[in-house]
Structure 1
Amino acid sequence: MEKIRLSVVIPAYNESKNFRCGVLNGVVEFLKLRKYTWEVILVNDGSTDETLKLLKEFVSCHYGFRLVDMVHGGKVAAVTSGVLEARGEIVVFSDFDQSTPLSEVENFLLEFNKGAELVIGRRVEKSGWSLFQKLRSKTFNFLVQLIILPGINDTQCGFKAFKNSVAKELFKKLSITKHTAKDGYKGAFDVELLYLAKRRGYKIVQLPVVWSYVKSGILSPLEPIKMLLDIIHLRLAYLNRHVIPVVLLLLLSVPAWIQTAKGGYFPMHDDLQFGRQVVMDKCFADKQIPCRWSKDLGYGYGYPLFNYYPPFPYYLGQMFRSADLSYIDVIKVLVVLSLIISGLLMYLFAQVFWGKWGGLISGALYIYAPYHAVDIYVRGAMNEAWAIAFFPGVFWALYRLIERNKWKYVLPVAAFSSLVMLSHNLMLMLFVPAAFVWALFWLVKFRSVKALPKLVVSGSWSLGLAAFFSLPVIFEQKYAHVETLTAGYFNYLAHFATLKELFIDRNWGYGNSIYGPVDYISFQIGYIHWGLALVSLIVALVFARKKLYKSLFIVLMFAISLFYAFLAHEKSSFLWSAAPQLQYLQFPWRTLSIVIFGTSFLGGSIVILGEKLIKFRVIGTLILILVTVAFYKDYFRWKDFWPNFKDQDKLAGEQWKLQTTNGIFDYLPVWAPFPPVNPPNGDAEIIDGEGQITTLFKNSVKQEYEVKVKKEARFQINTFYFPGWEYTVDGREVLVNPKDDQELGRPRIQLSSGNYKIVALFKKTSVRYISDIVSVVSWSIFLVCAFLSASNINFLKREKSP
């Protein structure tokens, strides 16, 4: 059979008047001059006039025309019948009145040669329309773009062309508008058709076409209202799959954070979030971006906090601070968001494998994992909580990239991976091996060798996005006392958990992790979590014959969870000693972050055991989640709550001293052998000789002093020396040797008698300059690509559902 290039589908319902006007003659005249093969499918939609008789006579004497006769079912049914009959590589459907002449298809075919998968007409000149009709059309198009199809300028033009496979898939998928009324109302099926195409990532091209108004009947005044209701119905129907479980998840998360939303403040182990947010706020005020140096921390001597400490939560917090929230409220928002986002991203990840109800279970389990409560409500480990939140995003993006082998998924892999780095770089050491095994499994399963370059690009890109932080951490580590991170209390050998603490104990405490079998803090995985993880092995057995890969990846995730639980136990000490870098994690029980990730994901698989019993699955899901919430919700409470505590209380007295001195040895500049025991004696001082100092200006990146020296003197700035600080005396740069101050490594400048203006500027080192440039370029490219992807400007191909 000869290959057909173009199929033309023309529906007809009571079109005898238009037929006698000769509208089909123009179709014949155009097609007989084409060099490519073609066919025309005329679909009689149960006409009650002479249309069927006239079409039969026409087809009998015209080559290439076929007639499909059907019981009246409306335009959607007629066009669908014609499309399913089409044999051409390209399928175009056109209105019978030829308001847009078929000759316009020539420009459409050129777009298909360039890679288009769907080309639609856009009526530029609407000749014959009244002002009211034009206004109604513009209003309708505006509402369509606002509600469901942004970027599509004319959904209702009756001239559209598709690749054959695309047309047949889309028309078969029509579900909301396929049963339109049979009274002449056409419905909003074009909108559903285009929405399905966009959702699947087809490349849609819009072209201007000639269009003339042909009066074919009186439009019911209710038709625009009906179509608007159709569009709202479409929006709700296609949102329904995820909206209900997502809304439920948000509601179910409330007990996990409701106490935090109250007025006041709360104590925790790492009660330094407040001070870190203050530092970030002052960096923005001083235009020190990226933020690296604080003038207030280090007991007032300054401190390179964000040169080493992961900054993401506090950059996010600054958005809310810019909205004039108090520092305390910003910290509360970050706590609440970390819990909510962890649940939503787990839902996004798990629903791919277990469906929406299984995803809901996994999301709830992740939010209410006991270790999640330990991290936030006991330890106050804000950064670790945010890293935990992004774990599911990385796994989801890796799976999608490998499964679909699409460049668009490079973006989320890079973004989520960089966010883990920027939230808690040490957790990345734990997470990378699990992510590597996960990616390797799917590479083997899908035999997706072509995805490897995309994985390399996404990994490199994520490093670029986080370079402004990660490169100084690596190359400027030598400038700070990081050895204290693994010494004394922070030595990993003192912080293994016992099997009883992991699997049996439900004792809850707000104390510390100490050496020995008894801790005053909980390290439980959670009965429900490890119980459902065991049940997932039964699910794996169910799949063993029909879907072996699904069975295998369940076993894989179980093995990953079990391995990381093993790392929390003292029997794994040989692995910790063999990998010295792991020792910077300080607490082996931190591996519970991966354990709760794995067990929460596996917990959602239980819905598969009841997948044939839909009602049981929904009811069972809700019961299981409510039991989980009831079982764990009391863990999500602060030990104490100070209802009248405000920012000013935290910014003064002993509370502020705690913020500026606690953890001071972690990143203390190496030129200070030990932390200071007292605050500085002013911003600067004369330590030898006589002189007078006036502070002209001081912020986090610049200090200016007017110095009057009577006798030769040594001038000392009471700010720790750290690479990046440059000093000038009357505009001339001077070199300082921080070793001159053997106590704290402060810069000292020898001055003879006279008046001087001394300026200290905190500048970028070469490492920081390069890392900032890398990140600026990486983020710029990322944002452009993200915009193009969101705007559907890039050439996205079809995406199959998993």
Structure 2
Amino acid sequence: MFKRSLIFIILICALAIPTFIRMVKPGMFTTQDFHFFRLFEFDKCFKDLQIPCRWAPDAGLGFGEPLFNFYGQLPYLFGEIIHISGFSLIDSLKSVFIFSLFASGVSMYFLAKRVWKDDLSSLISAIIYVYAPYRAVDVWVRGALPEALSFAIYPLILLSLDKFIDDEKTTGLMWFVLFLTALILTHNLSVLLFLPVILVWVLYRIINMKKYKLLLKIVSGFVLAGLLSSFYLIPVITEAKYINLDATTLGYFNFRGHYVETSQLLFSRFWGYGASVFGPEDGMSLAIGQIQWVIPVLTLLLILLKRKIFENKTFVILFLLGWFLLFMTHNKSIFLWLRVDYLKYIQFPWRFLAPATFVFTLASGKIAQLFSKYKKLICLIIVVITIGLNYSFFGEDIWLNVKDSNLTGGEEWVRQRSASIADYWPKFGVLPTEVASDNP
């Protein structure tokens, strides 16, 4: 059993290579975020023994800001470990992106194997997960490091929960606590995005197995995860009122301007490296991916034809949940956005593509079980089509032949130090317009 799983893990890792191979060269690709700067600042924290990290001394044009009070630290801790092992900051950053792609495929394989009890089904889910267009957007377009890493944690949360519900051993619950803590410390918005998935899965499994007594223990798991991450959550909750955090929900960041049209979501093959804009003329892809939704639809049709809907409740739950999450990206869901206040902090409704991608890819593995005689052929066809349709998305817009030193000086350094300056500045303070003096 172990050897067979190891073979599939190696195969998944090998098939994932095209998603990052263009990173494996000197330099860095352009992104829409400033993770190099944050890793540079986290490195300063680490060397100053400021643990947990709070202060980014070069932010705010050199006046400093409490950046890491409000920004998830785990991706940068991971990058820092790689950096102190001898790698440059740029290579450390790229290594975390690469790890997110590898790890997400492997973690999805293990979850799908637990759900579908089949290696080929698990392989289908893993490859569709790794090659989802939104994964390419996160890594190669937006450069959204925390969200990219969250994709590797999603399957582990459900895997540990499922194990606990099945065998009722404390070990499974403790793993759930650790993985949920990891998600909180990686990307707090991903917790909000993934919460519906956790709740639906827990309720479905507990009701299906009539293990209602486990609900209280699972709730205690949420509490423990909150306590473990309290060094981060308490400042976020209690100190947010002192900074301009509301600025992250106004103007360009108002969720009302960033809904996705159905044609963009389901049918578009557009690819670009621009920004999300008000209306449908976005400069980047906001598609779930044709394979990602077509395979679940075909699977449902086959189940209906065989009249085995009740024998496939798990798939049906995942299918309906996936479409609900896609619905949250569309303007018809505005009544929910207006009623649930915390949703405004998600900023972009299309961020629900992340949990939707997760749910649809997990559901996609079911199709192999419906073709017992031709399972290998179906798996091969789906894997080849998935990679063939999507591998070209995994590449850079512009490649910069730079070293760490090129990004920590001159105009580029000023640009990074002033990025998002208003977000974490004291609410009643005057925003600086000039770089702070080195000798005040």
* CA distance 1:363–1:290, change in 2 (3 Å): same
* CA distance 1:285–1:617, change in 2 (3 Å): same
User: 1:638 maps to which residue?
Assistant: 396
Query: What one-letter code is carried by the residue in structure 2 that aligns with 1:398?
Result: L
- Residue of 354, 365, 387 corresponding to 1:593: 354
User: 2:422 maps to which residue?
Assistant: 665
Question: In the TM superposition, what is the alpha-carbon distance from 1:261 to its structure 2 partner?
Answer: 1.6
Q: Distance in 1 between matches of 2:325 and 2:245?
A: 26
- Residue of 562, 572, 577 corresponding to 2:323: 562
Question: In the TM superposition, what is the alpha-carbon distance from 1:578 to its structure 2 partner?
Answer: 1.2
CA offsets, 1:225-264, max 9 Å, x none? Answer: xxxxxxxxxxxxx422201111110000000010112211
Question: In the TM superposition, what is the alpha-carbon distance from 1:599 to its structure 2 partner?
Answer: 1.1
Q: Distance in 2 between matches of 1:477 and 1:542?
A: 53
User: 1:551 maps to which residue?
Assistant: 312
Query: What one-letter code is carried by the residue in structure 2 that aligns with 1:332?
Result: K
SS at match of 1:389: helix
- Residue of 174, 186, 198 corresponding to 1:435: 198
Q: Distance in 2 between matches of 1:253 and 1:301?
A: 42
The answer to whether the 8 Å contact 1:543/1:551 transfers is: no
Question: In the TM superposition, what is the alpha-carbon distance from 1:300 to its structure 2 partner?
Answer: 0.3
* CA distance 1:544–1:314, change in 2 (3 Å): farther
Query: What one-letter code is carried by the residue in structure 2 that aligns with 1:680?
Result: A
Q: Distance in 1 between matches of 2:207 and 2:213?
A: 12
State the superposition RMSD in angstroms.
1.5
Query: What one-letter code is carried by the residue in structure 2 that aligns with 1:628?
Result: T
User: 1:398 maps to which residue?
Assistant: 161
Query: What one-letter code is carried by the residue in structure 2 that aligns with 1:574?
Result: F
User: 2:232 maps to which residue?
Assistant: 469
SS at match of 1:476: helix
Query: What one-letter code is carried by the residue in structure 2 that aligns with 1:529?
Result: Q
CA offsets, 1:751-785, max 9 Å, x none? Answer: xxxxxxxxxxxxxxxxxxxxxxxxxxxxxxxxxxx
Q: Distance in 1 between matches of 2:199 and 2:307?
A: 24
Query: What one-letter code is carried by the residue in structure 1 that aligns with 2:390?
Result: Y
The answer on 1:308 being equivalent to 2:60 is: no
SS at match of 1:259: helix
User: 2:251 maps to which residue?
Assistant: 488
Larger fraction in strand: 1
The runs of at least 4 aligned residues of structure 1 exceeding 6 Å deviation read: none
SS at match of 1:297: coil
Query: Which runs of structure 2 are paired with 1:247-396 in the superposition (5 Å)?
Result: 247-270=10-33, 272-354=34-116, 355-396=118-159
* CA distance 1:544–1:476, change in 2 (3 Å): farther
- Residue of 513, 516, 531 corresponding to 2:276: 513
Query: What one-letter code is carried by the residue in structure 1 that aligns with 2:338?
Result: S
Query: Which runs of structure 2 are paired with 1:56-455 in the superposition (5 Å)?
Result: 238-270=1-33, 272-354=34-116, 355-455=118-218
User: 2:371 maps to which residue?
Assistant: 610
The answer to whether the 8 Å contact 1:539/1:605 transfers is: no
The answer on 1:622 being equivalent to 2:385 is: no
SS at match of 1:595: helix
Q: Distance in 1 between matches of 2:425 and 2:170?
A: 43
Q: Which has the higher contact order (CA 8 A, sep 6+)?
A: 2
Q: Distance in 1 between matches of 2:289 and 2:78?
A: 31
The answer to whether the 8 Å contact 1:345/1:392 transfers is: yes
User: 2:410 maps to which residue?
Assistant: 653
How much identity, in percent, do the aligned residues show? 35
Q: Distance in 1 between matches of 2:63 and 2:392?
A: 41
Question: In the TM superposition, what is the alpha-carbon distance from 1:422 to its structure 2 partner?
Answer: 1.1
Query: What one-letter code is carried by the residue in structure 1 that aligns with 2:87?
Result: L
CA offsets, 1:167-206, max 9 Å, x none? Answer: xxxxxxxxxxxxxxxxxxxxxxxxxxxxxxxxxxxxxxxx
Q: Distance in 2 between matches of 1:565 and 1:388?
A: 17
Query: What one-letter code is carried by the residue in structure 1 that aligns with 2:44?
Result: K
Query: What one-letter code is carried by the residue in structure 2 that aligns with 1:601?
Result: L
TM-score between both structures, scaled by the size of structure 2: 0.97
SS at match of 2:161: helix
Q: Distance in 2 between matches of 1:609 and 1:542?
A: 11
Query: What one-letter code is carried by the residue in structure 2 that aligns with 1:259?
Result: R
Q: Distance in 2 between matches of 1:357 and 1:650?
A: 45
CA offsets, 1:64-90, max 9 Å, x none? Answer: xxxxxxxxxxxxxxxxxxxxxxxxxxx
The answer to whether the 8 Å contact 1:540/1:554 transfers is: no
Q: Distance in 1 between matches of 2:29 and 2:410?
A: 17
Question: In the TM superposition, what is the alpha-carbon distance from 1:516 to its structure 2 partner?
Answer: 1.5
Query: What one-letter code is carried by the residue in structure 2 that aligns with 1:618?
Result: K
Q: Distance in 1 between matches of 2:382 and 2:71?
A: 39
Question: In the TM superposition, what is the alpha-carbon distance from 1:683 to its structure 2 partner?
Answer: 4.0
